[in-house]
Structure formats: C-alpha cells, structure tokens
Amino acid sequence: MGSWWLFTLIVCSSYTANLAAYLTVSRMDNSIRTFQDLSKQMDLAYGTVRDSAVYDYFRAKGTNPLEQDSTFAELWRTISKNNGHDYSVSSPSEGIRKAKKGPYAFLWDMAVVEYAALTDDDCSITVTGNSMSSKGYGIGMQHGSPYRDLFSQKILELQEKGDLDILKQKWWPRTGRCDLNSHANAQPDGRALKLHSFAGVFCILAAGLLLACLVAGLEMWWNSNRCRQEQPKEVTEHRARRTEQGEDTATLYFKDPAADASPDLVELQYTQL
C-alpha cells in the first residue's frame, strides 16, 4: 500500500515537472517556419545576395515608414549589417554553400532554393516557409516578334486550366531524391510528454509490488512454520497437565444388606480426566 501511494505521489510530481519543462521547451522552440520566427530569434544568421532584387525588396519593406509590421524592419537590420557584408553573400551559389556548411538561412527565390534542395547530394538543405511574393517567369523573344502575343495567350490558357501546376508537379516534384516535406512534417520531441518520461516511476511501482509480494511470502512462511512449532508444544503441555493431575481411581466397598453370606464386594472405578 505504501508503494502505491509513493507511486501516485511520484507520478503527480513527475507530471508537474514535465509539464513545466514542456511549456519551457515550447517557448524555447527554435523551429523557423515564418519570417516572424526568423526575425525574433538570434541564434541563426540569415541573409541574401547583395544588390539583388531580393535585397532591394527587403530594403524597401524594411525602410518603409508606413509599414505597420516590424518584421521586415528587423530582417533588414540584420541583412544590411555592415552594408550587407556580415550576413549577405555575393552570389546564390555562395549562399547555398553557406547554408549547407553552418547555421545559416539563405533567403532567395523559391524555385532556385527548391531545385538546390532536390538535387543536393547529401539532402542537407531544407526549404521552409511560403514565398513572400509571387513573380512570374517570361520567355525572351526578339523585339517586335509576331509570336509574343501567341505565346502569352497560350501560357495564360495553360495557367487558367491548371495545366502548368500539373506539369510542375510532374517535372518538379516536391519528393525526388530528397524530400522537401520531410523537415516540415517532422514534429519536435519536446512538444509531447512521452511514456519513457515516466519509466522510472513505473520501475518504482514494479519494485514496490515485487517487495510487497516477497514480504507477503515471507510472512506466510513464518506463520506456517510458527504454527507447526507451536502445535507439538501444545500437545506436550497437555500431556504434562494430564500427568500432573493423574488418573484418580477410587475403590468403594460396601456390604449388601440383603445378603446373608459374605458380603459381595463391588468395585467401582472411575477416571477423572
């Protein structure tokens, strides 16, 4: 019974401690899924290509006084540190190599980054977040070409019918040699209370039950052995009491008044136990 209450007390204490740790880990979770998460953390460096369209985009959003959200202001403060020489790079290939080597987030065009992640030999690149702005791609033609309007019309028709998305999924799948969704679907272990967190408590309960069974077995053995030892002792004491009291035998002689001859002697014996 004591082991059960000890088990209950430890379970409650462990649950409270794990709940506090869970809340702490949830606040300290460093997984980055949005630009807001990226701007609020200080452990992971990030940047883009200097003097590029993306660089100019962050500068326009970060220096806009009418921008209510301070996310881009924080991002631009880091990206443009030391005129972009601290965290930004000179080319997309350099940014991808820097992201593979160390804790670095490279902000660049989604198509380029996805292609680099899909074709990476080590599958060490992950793509997170959505595109911050949609930009179309064009086909370069000679100035004044009569095919320009025809190509534009056919491309718009393919886009409206969804054929471009089908072709992208066919030739540009998110699951190739490397899976782009593997890191996105992974859940951090610190967000759940697992059974192994209470393994020690159940070990204590099992040890308590084993000890209780052992004590119960020893108690039964002791009582049975004691009964066997006391039974002969009681028989011996009973016989001793009988010996001390003895068997009392009385002999009474009386004369039969109706008889003339010699009196018959009648012997009456009784035993007192």
Residue type, 230: E
pLDDT band at 271 (very low <50, low <70, confident <90, very high): very low
- As a whole number of angstroms, the distance between CA 74 and CA 36 comes to 9
Residue type, 222: W
- As a whole number of angstroms, the distance between CA 236 and CA 242 comes to 10
pLDDT band at 176 (very low <50, low <70, confident <90, very high): low
Residue 59 CA, chain-centre distance (Å), reads 42
Q: What is the pTM of this model?
A: 0.54
For residue 126, which of 32, 40, 189 has the smallest C-alpha distance? Answer: 32
pLDDT of 104-132, one tens digit each? 999 998 888 888 888 888 888 888 876 66
Triad 155, 159, 165: Cα angle to 5°: 120
Whether domain 30-134 has CATH 3.40.190.10: yes
Output the pLDDT for position 93. Answer: 93
pLDDT of 5-21, one tens digit each? 766 777 677 667 766 66
What is the residue extent of each domain of the chain? 1-26+190-237, 30-134, 144-182
Residue type, 5: W
- The H-assigned helical ranges of the chain are 2-27, 35-40, 53-62, 71-79, 92-101, 110-118, 148-161, 163-171, 182-185, 199-245
